[in-house]
Amino acid sequence: MIPLKFIRQNQETVRRGMQSKGVAENRLDELLDLDTKVRKKISLVENLKARRNQASQEIGQLKQAGKTAEREIAAMGDLSQQIKALDQEIHQLQEQIQQHLLWVPNLPHPLAPIGPDPSHNRVLRTVGEAVQPAFEARDHLDLLTLLGLVDFEAGARIAGRGFPLYTDRGALLERALINFMLDLHTRERGYTEIYPPFMATRQTTLMTGQLPKLEDDMYITDSDDMFLIPTAEVPLTGIHQDQILLENNLPRKYVAFSACFRREAGSYGKETRGLLRIHQFNKVELVKLVHPAASYDELETLRDDAEEVLRRLSLVYRVVELCTGDLSFAATKCYDLEVYAPVADQWLEVSSCSNFEAFQARRGNIRFRRKDTGKLDHVHTLNGSGVATPRLLAALLETCQQPDGSVTLPEALVPYYGEEELILP
RNA sequence: GGAGGAGUGGCUGAGUGGUCGAAAGCGGCGGUCUUGAAAACCGUUGACCGGUAUCCCCGGUCCGGGGGUUCGAAUCCCUCCUCCUCCGCCA
């Protein structure tokens, strides 16, 4: 949420920000128009209310003194009706304003690369060397099948396309990956582990910015208006909704494993092979609530925490800074981590690390008390995947495969999986 | 699912139609004292919106959310939500 006052006073800045994110601006004009209208009415009704308050007080004094106030009371009836009517109009206008406000995206950081689409993203660095195997290698789907790790047909029978069913060693390997990542972030990186609800209310989903824009991309329950979480970002950021934190308790760092549910409406046919784009997947998510002055430093360490997963697994990856047009609705700045899948010769996004500044905190009313001034202020929120499993698994299998199709696991994973390699069944 | 009880400021908690944005305590902030700290004492301390207005000033709104009654609502009525207790059912 961008504060209405800021929008009013910085119209051109907001307009440029919306343009660079590729968001239609017609709502902005309507918004400003409604704002002017409603403020006129507000000042009108506030004057009336001031009169009413004064008169009511006088009536109270008369009654207290044991006198009658019939004449005064009779004079008030009309005023009250006017106020009621105006209040209703104002209420309606403000509801409209609120709706428009929810569609104003966060503004990109001034130094974010400007551009309309991913081709303008900036590759900051590549870790490791992107080389293809010397032998005739299999891609991740062939390896999954060969090793018997995932049964796509069974998943489809149960829930339809895009719901993989991990079997036996595949299930174990998935669990090993999740445990490895959780332990890394909790034991070495100072995150507090959370096991959150996998559903969230409309309000919570609105807070993180998934709504209203991405409603079509989410699974929703008709009878309760609940949303299956598309990422644990939603519940984790929601933990402190409507709360006031102590400055001493910042930053708060949370990590959670969750299943993530995405309808992926409109992306059929893109990257659909194997595990690359599915409706339900597992992810370990990092969320931080931080002091505003620290949020950009915290973004760097968050990114590093996510990168550490890939480093420990000895995978080749690159760090990409997103351009304005590719930034999500709520983000000001974002790094994607893309892991290299050598057989597909593709860079697969496994993590997005974003700073939302106060955008989500304003929507969720998450504040802290400043030590220096004693005043309240909104925290800054950040999140990043640390990381999502399906593409990680795809890259891992392709990278670590041997000529016969067996896979030698990275050392870091061995204690979790219990064996050093996946041999052919 | 059924029956009760409760939701008040950062926290605990008083307040059942009028000068109540709300007692008191805790906490926070400032000060006195102290080598320093603690304790004690003194003072201070709600949020949000608007008024060309980051501080002062003026007005308005806010006592779980929404609606209603009234000249006037924290207080009365309706409704929804959440929490607690008991009963039933179920993992």
Distance, CA of A180 to CA of A183 (rounded, Å): 5
CATH number, domain of A93, equals: 1.10.287.40
Distance, CA of A49 to CA of A406 (rounded, Å): 78
The question of whether A349 is a catalytic residue gets the answer yes
Bridge partner residues of A422 (DSSP): A407
Whether A370 sits with its Cβ under 7 A from any strand B atom: the answer reads no
Distance, CA of A160 to CA of A261 (rounded, Å): 13
The question of whether A285 is a catalytic residue gets the answer no
Distance, CA of A360 to CA of A211 (rounded, Å): 11
Helix, strand, or coil here: A420? Answer: coil
**List of A residues 85-144 with CB within 7 A of strand B:** 91
Nucleotides, chain B, CB distance < 7 Å: 10, 18-19, 28-29, 45, 47-51, 59-61, 67, 71-72
Distance, CA of A394 to CA of A420 (rounded, Å): 18
Q: Is residue A109 part of a domain?
A: no
- Verify that A66 and A199 share a domain, yes or no: no
User: What phi, psi does A47 have (nearest 5°)?
Assistant: -65, -45
The question of whether A318 is a catalytic residue gets the answer no
Bridge partner residues of A71 (DSSP): none
Average pLDDT value over all residues in chain A: 91
The question of whether A277 is a catalytic residue gets the answer yes
Confidence of residue A359 (pLDDT cuts 50, 70, 90): very high
Helix, strand, or coil here: A201? Answer: strand
Among residues A138, A252, A277, A367, the one annotated as catalytic is A277
Task: Check residue A167 and give its pLDDT.
Answer: 94
Residue A246 gets which letter from DSSP?
E
Number of domains in chain A: 2
Distance, CA of A342 to CA of A400 (rounded, Å): 10
Calculate the angstrom distance between C1' of B27 and CA of A260: 41
- Verify that A147 and A286 share a domain, yes or no: yes
Residue A79 CB partners (closer than 8 Å, separation 6+): A48, A51, A52, A55
Mean pLDDT of the A350-379 span? 89
- Verify that A137 and A171 share a domain, yes or no: yes
Question: Is A373 a residue whose pLDDT tops 90?
Answer: no
What is the percentage of chain A residues whose pLDDT exceeds 70? 99
Task: Check residue A411 and give its pLDDT.
Answer: 96
Is the peptide bond prior to A387 cis by the omega test (within 30 degrees of 0)?
Answer: yes
Domain membership of residue A172 as a residue range: 118-422
Mean pLDDT of the A385-399 span? 95
CATH number, domain of A347, equals: 3.30.930.10
Whether A375 sits with its Cβ under 7 A from any strand B atom: the answer reads yes
- Verify that A336 and A374 share a domain, yes or no: yes
Please, are residues A299 and A382 in contact by the beta-carbon 8 Å criterion? Answer: yes
Helix, strand, or coil here: A98? Answer: helix
The question of whether A122 is a catalytic residue gets the answer no
Among residues A138, A189, A252, A262, the one annotated as catalytic is A262
**List of A residues 382-401 with CB within 7 A of strand B:** none
- Verify that A259 and A407 share a domain, yes or no: yes
**Closest nucleotide to A72: CA versus each C1':** B71
Whether A40 sits with its Cβ under 7 A from any strand B atom: the answer reads no
∠ CA(A352), CA(A353), CA(A357), 5° rounding? Answer: 130
Decide the pairing of beta strands A252-261 and A376-378: unpaired
Calculate the angstrom distance between C1' of B50 and CA of A14: 22
Confidence of residue A337 (pLDDT cuts 50, 70, 90): very high
